[in-house]
Amino acid sequence: MSEPITAHWHAPSNIAIVKYWGKFHNQIPANPSISFTLTLSYTDTKVTLTEAKEQLPTADVFYEGVEKPDFLPKVLKFLDHAMAFYPWLASKHLKIETRNTFPHSSGIASSASAMAALACCIEDIHSLLTFTPFDRQRVSHMARLGSGSACRSIYGGFVQWGSTADGAGSDHFAIPVEQVHTAFLDVKDYILILHSGKKTVSSSAGHGLMKDHSYAEPRFQQAKQRALALRDILTSGDWEMFIRLMESEALTLHAMMMTSDPPYILMKPNTLAVIEKLWQFRSDTGYQIGFTLDAGANLHLIFPASLTHIVERDFLPEIQYLCEQNRIIRDCIGDGPRKITEG
């Protein structure tokens, strides 16, 4: 190989309905999780591969055109893992140019989309070099080693990661949820920016807090049952049950952090204000509009696309002033990563 080889991909982030919180060695999840993949919130990554003299992969990372040496350790660790799948990575240099379509600290997992995009680029180069088909399962496996939740971003729609008692799924890679009722084919995720400050606890530290947590075992058991329950709900099309499970999952994730040692409160007063207004709105109108939270203060408003006009007309005016600079990212369920062909 003398000419540089390039690969360019967009990979979206995802939002978990049943949450992954707690892991074992090598990014093996303590419980299964189910998310859906987003559309507008994605990472755009271009990798240019050239020959290098070293025996290990080397890299430069540019974020929005600016070189970011502080991103390197995570990338090099990822490439080190990747060598098990792609031995040709040794003695290669990767120029990684990346950007996100969504702002930092917006309650969207940027590590999920970033690692998914990088894994797609590397697999794409692999298929060019070896004349083999692009292998999504291997990409998901790889992405997991970079950031657990990234393995779910390799597929569109609803996606399961972690094995469930019925024998479905794997702890090593994600799989798409096949049986999804039409009621869940068109789902909106309006991300309300209630606090854009940096999170007080990283997700790696958060997973670590589950190790000696008093409620760890019951929580893992609960999530295992809920993954099965959610798959049934997705098959039946029952939005009421979906919202009940989703909101309890969000609050349980936060409860785990509130009861860890040291404890963390990641919600802000406006997070609670929106939840109260949403519950009031739902009880007044009966509309199936629910919420979930990531490990931060921003709130994801989840509803079927058929209710978009109701949300826009009747609910957002009640809460938009609680968002920082009125910011809302109007995202929705999507199809997963996309290869970008230049020109």
The binder of ligand PMV chosen from 32, 107, 148, 290 (CB under 6 A)? 148
Sign of the Cα pseudo-torsion (319, 322, 325, 331, in order) = negative
Question: Cα–Cα–Cα angle for 58, 137, 146, nearest 5°?
Answer: 40
Q: Which is nearer to ligand PMV, 21 or 102 (CB)?
A: 21
Site for ligand PMV in 83-142 (CB under 6 A): 109, 111-112
- Which one, 138 or 300, has the nearer CB to ligand PMV? 300
Is 319 in contact with 291 (CB distance < 8 Å)? no
Tell the smallest beta-carbon distance from residue 23 to ligand PMV (Å).
7
Q: Is there binding between residue 13 and ligand PMV (CB under 6 A)?
A: no
Task: Classify residue 198 as exposed, middle or buried by CB count within 10 Å of its CB (0-12, 13-18, 19+).
Answer: exposed
Which residue in the set 59, 294, 299, 322 belongs to the binding site for ligand PMV (CB under 6 A)?
294
Looking at the Cβ atoms of 127 and 204, the one nearer to ligand PMV is 204
Distance in Å, CB of 202 to ligand PMV, minimum: 8
203 binds ligand PMV per the rule CB under 6 A: yes
- Pick the piece of the chain touching ligand PMV (CB under 6 A) from 94-102, 146-154, 244-252, 330-338: 146-154
- Of the candidates 147, 270, 271, 292, which one interacts with ligand PMV according to CB under 6 A? 147
Instruction: Using the Cα atoms of residue 281, residue 232, residue 227 and residue 328 in order, give the sign of their dihedral.
Output: negative
Among residue numbers 25 through 54, which ones bind ligand PMV (CB under 6 A)?
33
Size of the site for ligand PMV (CB under 6 A): 15
Among positions 191, 295, 316, 323, the unique one binding ligand PMV when judged by CB under 6 A: 295
Per CB under 6 A, does 149 bind ligand PMV?
yes
Would you say 38 or 122 has its CB closer to ligand PMV?
38
- Residues 17 and 35 sit within 8 Å (Cβ to Cβ): yes
Question: Which of residues 10, 13, 20, 107 is near ligand PMV by CB under 6 A?
Answer: 20
Q: Under 8 Å CB-to-CB from 341, ≥6 apart: which residues?
A: 8
User: Least distance to ligand PMV from the beta carbon of 143, Å?
Assistant: 10
Contacting positions for ligand PMV (CB under 6 A):
16, 19-21, 33, 109, 111-112, 147-149, 203, 253, 294-295
